[in-house]
Amino acid sequence: MTTDSQIHGLLNDHLSGLEEYTPIQPFEVLSQRLGIPISQIVKLDANENPYGPLPAVAEALAEYPYYHIYPDPQQSELRDALSGFVGVPAEHILPGQGADELLDYICRLFLSPGDSIINTPPTFGMYSFDAKLQGAEVIDVWRRTDYSVDVEGIEQAVNGGWQTGQGSSSVKPKLLFLTSPNNPSGTWMPDDDLRRLLALPLMVVLDEAYVEFANQPSRAGWVLERDNLIVLRTFSKAAGIAGLRLGYGIFPAWLMPMLWKFKQPYNVNVAASVAGLASLRHTDQIMAVVEKLKAERDRLLAALAAIPYLRPFPSEANFVLCQVEGRSAADLKQALEGQGILVRFYKKTGLDNCIRISVGRPEQTDMLLAVLHNL
């Protein structure tokens, strides 16, 4: 008879040290936990779009007659529409179940146990999460105190630092993950920095989940001129359909045949595709919502700066990171939650005593500010 430990020993070795991902709680769970109806919860903790999908999306979803048919594995219609929106040929575009699925694909395409990536914390957690799933090492090149990327530090880590023990790995890094605007700091990465890093001998993955909110253009077009750049974008933030899971990557031509062989045939479900297409028929309306959120971000930023115990960082995204001064950020988060207002709280290196506030509707900003002033 086999013992439990024999069976447990069948698990992949490199998964034993895996850390749990702490997800954000959805409305239904929050409502139960806080004892507040969903309609009264001010959810500013996950950078979701408070305006939700366009009316045209709800209509398209209600009217679509073919949910009993499998999705198009080639995603032709969606890729053509995306091509028009992004301004790159459809041959370079691959949609996924959120940008998250594409991050997972990229890590599985490039990484095995013993390989390594370069991460630039504080940043989005999924890069190190997906790399560790593959058993790869994560070399952290920390951002500077203003949250700009330490370009020299990355150059050192790539050009030999990995051999002399400066990084955490003895293996030359294969992937570099960059985020612009960065989550959670809202920082934009300048063209010159990106150009310098693209000269390094590794794949650069530029996550542009928030690029629509920036006062700067996307770098998606750069992919056409380089073999080592991937740009990721999403419908979760600007287009307001995070719950439907739709993102896309712009990939260099040489990688596309590999991705077509590699991807799950039906990775993008029909509802996500219908919603994406309806959104892309009304990009003017999406950009109008984005403008509203950008104006609200600027108002929020100015109002937070006027609160004595908060030091907000400038942001090119739909959220604002704040350093809490002279009191506990954990207590602040708790106090806000007691009033039905949810923000993201961090207690980790580089984000000590910080909260991140997503941009909401004006009346939600007003509620937040009233509570912050009264504390």
Site of interaction with ligand PLP (CB under 6 A): 47, 98-100, 124, 179, 183, 207, 209, 234, 236, 242, 247
Q: Judged by CB, which is closer to ligand PLP: 47, or 315?
A: 47
Q: Judged by CB, which is closer to ligand PLP: 47, or 365?
A: 47
CA separation for the pair 334, 339 (Å, rounded): 9
Closest contact distance (angstroms) between CB of 288 and ligand PLP is 21
Closest contact distance (angstroms) between CB of 264 and ligand PLP is 15
Closest contact distance (angstroms) between CB of 296 and ligand PLP is 18
Q: Judged by CB, which is closer to ligand PLP: 178, or 336?
A: 178
CA separation for the pair 280, 85 (Å, rounded): 7
Closest contact distance (angstroms) between CB of 182 and ligand PLP is 7
Q: Judged by CB, which is closer to ligand PLP: 115, or 130?
A: 130
Closest contact distance (angstroms) between CB of 87 and ligand PLP is 20
Q: Name the residue among 136, 137, 139, 175 with its Cα closest to residue 255.
A: 175
Q: Judged by CB, which is closer to ligand PLP: 234, or 315?
A: 234
Closest contact distance (angstroms) between CB of 366 and ligand PLP is 25
Q: Judged by CB, which is closer to ligand PLP: 71, or 95?
A: 95
Closest chain position to ligand PLP (CB): 98
Closest contact distance (angstroms) between CB of 63 and ligand PLP is 25
Q: Judged by CB, which is closer to ligand PLP: 110, or 124?
A: 124
Closest contact distance (angstroms) between CB of 233 and ligand PLP is 8
Relative orientation angle of helices 270-280 and 76-86, to the nearest 10 degrees: 30
Listed in sequence order, the residues at least 6 apart from 323 whose beta carbon sits closer than 8 Å to its beta carbon are: 310, 311, 312, 313, 353, 354
- Dihedral (CA of 127, 180, 280, 82) sign: negative
Q: Judged by CB, which is closer to ligand PLP: 162, or 213?
A: 213
Q: Name the residue among 144, 150, 148 with its Cα closest to residue 118.
A: 150
Closest contact distance (angstroms) between CB of 309 and ligand PLP is 26
Listed in sequence order, the residues at least 6 apart from 358 whose beta carbon sits closer than 8 Å to its beta carbon are: 43, 44, 45, 46, 47, 48, 50, 318, 319, 343, 344
Q: Judged by CB, which is closer to ligand PLP: 110, or 127?
A: 127
Closest contact distance (angstroms) between CB of 215 and ligand PLP is 18
Task: Please state the φ and ψ torsions of residue 150, each to the nearest 5 degrees.
Answer: -80, 85
Which letter, b or e, does each residue of 308-342 get, where b requires 16 or more Cβ atoms within 10 Å of its Cβ?
Answer: eebebbbbbbbbbbbebeeeebeebbebbbebbbb
Q: Judged by CB, which is closer to ligand PLP: 100, or 212?
A: 100
